[in-house]
Amino acid sequence: MAMAGLYRRLLPCPPAVDFASSQGKQLFLESIQNGTMEGFYRLVSYFQTQSEPAFCGLASLSMVLNALAIDPGRKWKGPWRWFDESMLDRCEPLEKIKVRGISFGKLVCLAHCAGAKVEAFHASHSSIDDFRKYVMKCSTSDDCHVISSYHRGALKQTGTGHFSPIGGYHVGKDMALILDVARFKYPPHWVPLTLLWEGMNYVDESTGQSRGFMLISRPHREPGMLYTLSCKHENWINIAKFLMDDVPFLLKSENVKDIHKVLSVIVTSLPSNFEEFIKWVAEIRRIEDAGSSLSVEEKARLAVKEEVLKQVQETRLFKHVASFLSNSCSRQIATSGDGDTLPVIAASVCCQGAEILGGKFSSPAGYCCQETCTKCWKAEDDKPITMVCGTVVNGNTEQRVDVLIPSSSEKLCCSCSSTTEYIRMHPASTDVLTVLLLSLPSTTWAGITDEQLLREIHGLVSTENLPTLLQEEVLHLRRQLHILKRCQEGKIDEDLGVPFS
């Protein structure tokens, strides 16, 4: 029997110009001479074909993230850390995307979650002049890239909604180079910017919003250097709802007169597993990968983490939280000085480390840490270093894991032998709770009626009063909290431009 199938499509020319045609080559050469193909080289180095008919958004994003050299922080295959479509599943299950594709807003959500800096615009809320400006900006630099979400109908192509990165721009002809990730269908091609803009103004029936474009760039430092939200945790959406919806209501309904009462209202109402929602990030490596010496990269990252921790512990809010938790009997929450014992934390972080090194996030319960030990020494620059070493077992396999733990320099003594002294050398619940409170939107506190208390609260939680590193850490967490909650509520496409305040 004959087998039906499609082998590519004839590219409608005009309006498009095939990149490999003589005219396409001429446009390419002229654009190089004008300096508007600078973003092309990195993109074409990581150009990929979408692996599923509906994975154009995921392929475009993974291609851009790899071009920007953003570390995904987890393995793809073998030992390699690499962005792949299969890893972009935080906002929508892959099986669902395989059937329906992904909306513009949820792709924006994924870009944020991956650690990129993102500016996103619905076409209905922007202008062709702004779009041209951003295309020009990224075409003259390799530090940013544009992904366009458009309807193929505007370009006389078959199909409907589609995503692809823009690889370059021809100023004289006002044409953009589309690096079409559906390479099984159409080759890379030049199109008039005005027609591409028309395609972005089509309404996506699944969201009721117009399509658009996003500008993706690499942040000047990796986000979430010490703290991150664990968005894979099964109850994270309930915790996010509690923090953003329930806490403001509780503070409004309770008669709060001082900081102690504010903390009491929040802490005594926290979901029992809130510690699973926000985590501190240690440096992890296999023991066979390196000895006790630290690489330059490890030292740099650990130094930043230690500085962030130090800045957290120097905030006035931290002092209030520490005082409240140490004196409160209403809730059993571990603090830096009491409940968080290093053996328990060591076993936990070693298991998390093995899980990350193995690229397996679905079954952490399968990991068991049989043995841990703590080493404390001074690096070449006389800075104290704390390392937890563990043997982690998963089924019939075991691996040795090192975890570099950030520590506050004022609280660390490398000659220490007492367990109680070791307890104070890591970010613990007091630090985590402090950062979580700092990350809440400023509107959280609006229901407090006592004006003097409200001023005091704003003084404690205002990001403007924070050092730069901690400010960036807090704003990243706030952005994660806002975007992921909106994403799960199906509202992410409505408010791409809403500031995270």
Q: Is the pLDDT at 482 greater than 90, yes or no?
A: no
Entry pTM = 0.68
Name the segment(s) of the chain with CATH classification 3.90.70.30: 17-217
385 or 120, greater pLDDT? 120
Q: Share the mean pLDDT of the chain.
A: 77
What tens digit of pLDDT does each residue of 203-244 get? Answer: 988 888 899 999 999 876 665 567 777 655 556 667 777 888
pLDDT of residue 476: 80
- Kindly tell me the burial class for residue 354, based on how many C-beta atoms sit within 10 Å of its own C-beta (0-12, 13-18, 19 or more): buried
User: Given pLDDT bands bounded at 50, 70 and 90, which one contains residue 447?
Assistant: confident
Q: Is the pLDDT at 51 greater than 70, yes or no?
A: yes
Concerning whether 180 is annotated as a catalytic residue, the answer is yes
Concerning whether 350 is annotated as a catalytic residue, the answer is no
Q: Quick one: average pLDDT of 96-125? A: 86
Of 109, 180, 231, 376, the catalytic one is: 180
What tens digit of pLDDT does each residue of 304-325 get? Answer: 777 888 888 889 999 998 888 7
Concerning whether 56 is annotated as a catalytic residue, the answer is yes
Q: How much of the chain exceeds pLDDT 90, in percent?
A: 27
CATH 3.90.70.30 fits 17-217, yes or no: yes
Q: Which residues of 417-429 are buried (b: 16+ CB within 10 A; e: fewer)?
A: eeeeebbbbbbbb
What tens digit of pLDDT does each residue of 179-198 get? Answer: 999 999 999 999 999 999 99
Q: Is the pLDDT at 277 greater than 60, yes or no?
A: yes
Winning range, highest mean pLDDT, from 283-292, 400-409, 412-421, 439-448: 439-448
Q: Quick one: average pLDDT of 156-182? A: 94
Choose the weakest-confidence range: 29-43, 301-315, 451-465.
Answer: 301-315
Of 162, 170, 476, 482, the catalytic one is: 162
